[in-house]
Structure 1
Amino acid sequence: MELMIPSAADSFLQDESGYDKGEAVKAFDETKAGVKGLVDSGVTKIPRFFIHPPEDVQKSSPESSHLGSLHVPVINFEHCESYRRSEVVNEIRKASEIWGFFQMVGHGIPVSVLDDMLAGVRRFHEQHRDVKMEFYSRDRKQPVRFFCNGDLLVNRAPANWRDTIAFDFQDGKLDPELFPETFREEVSQYIRHMIQMKKTLSELISEALGLPSDYLSSIECMETESLVCHYYPACPEPDLTLGATKHRDPSLMTILLQDNMGGLQVRNQTQWVDVPPLQGALVVNIGDFMQLITNDKFKSVEHRVLVGQEGIPNIGSMLFLSERSK
């Protein structure tokens, strides 16, 4: 079955006269096909509600080109439970204070688990839209839901060029039978490893703050997990839109798995700095809540995601860690 966009969505590409953003967005959402559906339909121009201001899409600030040698810290977690613990704790402290971001390698999670997860996310988003539509929902109470831009219908800002499937866990628990069959085992396996990684990070970050290793777990600020799997299709006009506009995460902390296409950028002063993909690495970023409870010692910083034109989509899987829901 070919994707048939409703006639009301013709306004996606109309000129100024007669354009109604609300109607265009509504018509797009009713297809339940997401951005991938647009790409599959062969669009060569992106709908106007995906177009961002030029200053937001600009790849970097020309006046800050001398900062091009900056790199987000890469921390080797190997032997962090033994003789390298103080070294790793110190590196986490420096990265969290200066960057609010770091990549971790040597964490012990098999590369095969990470690769399988990315392949599963791709498989879900690239399957026939009729299968994905079963999960399409804007109800935040749904534990598993597929959507394009969670606030698409209410946000007046430009939309992001991405589709998402999200899983909301409580204490790491969610019935696997609710997962899409397409990558049920991959999600289950990934979450098992992430729960252990959460424990390790909780202890190390507590120590990086000069506190007992059980501090963060004792105040129950990492008890709620949300797994968000983004799919950023190749875009016919990548210089006009973003996969994720500049933002800070409101959560305590985020653990990101990105594919080898990259696209993630972190703001450092006036410069957007690439976070290059590393095989088997996970990216950790400090959220607003962490900055709050550390009295600004650890920084929550702006970041964004660029989209590509090479014909290969970008994929990212993010685990947001937050305080226990009341």
Structure 2
Amino acid sequence: MVTPTHVLPLVDITRLQSARREDRLAVADELDRACVDAGFLYVTGAQIDTALRDRVVARAKAYFAQDQAAKMASYIGLSENHSGYVPVGEEQFGSGTPDLKEAYDINVDYAHAHGRRPLLGPNLWPPMPGFREDVQAWYQHLTGIGHQLFRAFALALGLAESHFDAHLRHPPSQLRLIHYPHDADAQDRPGIGAHTDYECFTLLHVTAPGLQVVDKQGNWVDVPLVDGALIMNVGDMMEILSNGRYLATKHRVKKVAQERYSFPLFFSCDYDHVIAPLVVGPAGQQASHYRPIKGGEHLFNQTAQTFAYLKARIARGELVLNDPVPLDSFGQREAGARP
């Protein structure tokens, strides 16, 4: 049930595995309330494999402990599908300060690009025994949970439970293994790295505090860890799909002294799926608040405005973005304007 004693709502999704539709509807109702009220929530459930999660944490620690030359051999700018190593300073949200983190980005790992779309194709993998196997297993495990959540969102929005199934065949969903190095002299500055996620929703495992979200009063609120729980949040595309019922919540990672690892998986629909409001109110009485966008194109456009190697390609004229939405476009309407 939704537990009000936490900073964020907590929803147990175990019953999404139930054969009983009423069980799944009950979870969908709790998910709906949590997303309307906060946009961020804790997710627990019997389906979460904590042993596999811990193996992935160990793999990430071993990878990031390598020297810089070894890590740069898998630099993301060398990949076909925006996968691989992301060095410190590569990411810069808009004109803000570059994020002080390093990462390894993993996609679905298609053998071939589907129609030569950006973000779809073979992953760039480091030559580390066991890394690919465990990370892929975690990706596939979370993807299964994500599909259950897509079905719950469909129920919550009054759609057929299988509504999203046909749009999850070749999604550019991405898993990030993120490392925030130890910084004994860390001094936080408000607003660094503040953003909404571009996709439908995110599932996150994190090893240390540091995440902050904006509450309804506009204040930054620390999100403490809850043992065994994943953190979930609504992204830009689900804001559009819900016609603003769920708002993408701005969040950031404040500077903390301890070493920190973060593992978000960002869930998208298929690259060419058009993201448009699915609900417009009773008998069409409520207008759509959003213009449709091409899901994969939106994701790539936002990514290209953040990563240095893609910005460089744009500056050289090698890459032209088609009508990109400004980075800070979502989660801005007042709560009273929600449907």
Fold conserved (TM > 0.5)? Answer: yes
CA–CA separation in structure 2 for the residues paired with 1:184 and 1:113 = 13
Aligned to 2:200: 252
The 2-side partners of 1:246 and 1:236 are apart by 22
CA–CA separation in structure 1 for the residues paired with 2:45 and 2:265: 19
Cα offset, 1:222, TM superposition: 8.0
Aligned pairs (5 A) from 1:73-92: 73-82=9-18, 84-92=23-31
**2:203 is aligned with 1:264:** no
Tell me by how many angstroms 1:104 deviates.
Answer: 0.8
Q: Give the aligned length.
A: 254
Give the alignment of 1:16-35 within 5 angstroms. Answer: none
For the pair shown, the structure with the greater C-alpha radius of gyration is 1
Match of 1:233 among 181, 192, 196: 181
Match of 1:105 in 2: 44
Q: Which residue of 1 aligns with 2:234?
A: 286
Q: Residues 240-289 of structure 1, C-alpha deviation per residue, up to 9 Å, x if partnerless?
A: 45896111011111111111x12111111222222222232211111011
Q: Shift of residue 129 of structure 1?
A: 2.3
Asked if the contact 1:138–1:150 (Cα under 8 Å) also holds between the matched residues in 2, the reply is no
CA contact (8 A) 2:11 2:43 kept: yes
Aligned-pair CA distance for 1:186: 1.7
1:315 deviates by 0.5
In structure 1, the partner of 2:278 is: none
**Does structure 2 retain, via aligned residues, the 8 Å contact 1:78–1:106?**
yes
- Asked if residue 162 in structure 1 is aligned to residue 101 in structure 2, the reply is yes
**1:41 alignment counterpart:** none
Match of 1:197 among 145, 149, 173: 145
**Distance 1:258-1:242 versus aligned 2 partners, 3 A rule:** farther
Decide whether aligned partners of structure 1 residues 319 and 254 sit closer, same or farther in structure 2, where only a CA change above 3 A counts: same
Q: 1:166 and 1:244 mapped to 2: Cα distance?
A: 21
Q: Distance in 1 between matches of 2:128 and 2:191?
A: 26
Query: Please, which runs of 5 or more residues in structure 2 have no aligned partner?
Result: 112-119, 273-339
Hey, which of these two has a bigger chunk of helix by percent? 1
Secondary structure at the aligned position of 1:135 is classed as coil
Task: Provide the residue aligned with 1:64 in structure 2.
Answer: none
- Give the one of 128, 133, 136 matched to 1:181: 128
> What is the letter of the counterpart of residue 115 of structure 1?
D
1:183-217: per-residue Cα shift (whole Å, max 9, x none)?
Answer: 22220210120121121111111111111111122
Tell me if structure 1 keeps the 8 A contact 2:173–2:268.
Answer: yes
Which residue number corresponds to residue 308 of structure 2?
none
Specify every segment of 5 or more residues in structure 1 that has no aligned partner in the other structure, as ranges.
1-68
Amino acid at match of 2:100: W
1:305 aligns with 253
Which residue is equivalent to 2:75?
A: 136
**RMSD (Å), alpha carbons:** 2.8
